[in-house]
Amino acid sequence: MNTRKLVYLFFSTLLIGAFSGAIIGVVLDTDTYFGGGFLNFLFGFLWMFGMSAAISLVAQMGYFAYLTLQRFALGLFKSVKLWNRIQVVLILFVLFDIIYLRYIAFATEEETLWGYVWMPVLLLAYCVAVAFQKQKETNKAAFIPALFFMFVVTTIEWVPALTVDVVNDTKWLWIYLTPLLTANTWQLLILHRLTGAGAK
């Protein structure tokens, strides 16, 4: 992949993540943005755009870190099947982790475990759909690595929002998650097009 394509990948991912985060921020908090006139909306949108752009940079670092990990793991285990099994175990562990450990850390006496289940399950369902699309556009072997990246790596990138009590609020969790999800989805589904590694 040449420099022009790398630059395109960087800026397109940055803008997609930034705009998606800014839009979801406005949608989830309309009173704040539309309650003080045009300048209030403009500066609020720009602030959210900048914060989402920073989050999308984290997503880009996570993606290239995963590509490095993938190469290293395949060289270490000498078996695609073994590495895929390890990835499946890690996916299940992370699913349990973001449900139960968040419940232990933040749940009040009135809350039940089920209140902490729906968001991780929705995230997993979305990641499965993206992984199927990646498989469809490339090959069957791409499904588990794509699912691992979308779910496990995105969750790791999401950790700052998951572990800070002040943002243990559904609105802010979505505001942090949206730029990560859109940026990671874009990176995952565009890379094989840029490199010419299509379906086989």
Angstrom distances, CA of residue 44 to CA of 5, 21, 31, 127: 32, 12, 11, 30
Q: What pLDDT was estimated at residue 119?
A: 87
Residue in 81, 82, 29, 74 with CA at minimum distance from that of residue 51: 29
Q: What pLDDT was estimated at residue 30?
A: 82
Q: What pLDDT was estimated at residue 106?
A: 75
What digits encode the pLDDT tens for the residues 167-200?
556 778 888 999 999 999 999 999 989 887 665 5
Q: What pLDDT was estimated at residue 49?
A: 95
Rounded CA gap, 196 and 200, in Å?
11
Q: What pLDDT was estimated at residue 164?
A: 62
What's the half-sphere exposure (Cβ side, CA atoms, 13 Å) at 122? 10
- Which regions of the chain are under pLDDT 50? 166
Q: Is the alpha carbon torsion for 133, 59, 177, 47 positive or negative?
A: negative
Rounded CA gap, 60 and 13, in Å?
8
Statement: the pTM of the whole predicted model exceeds 0.95: no
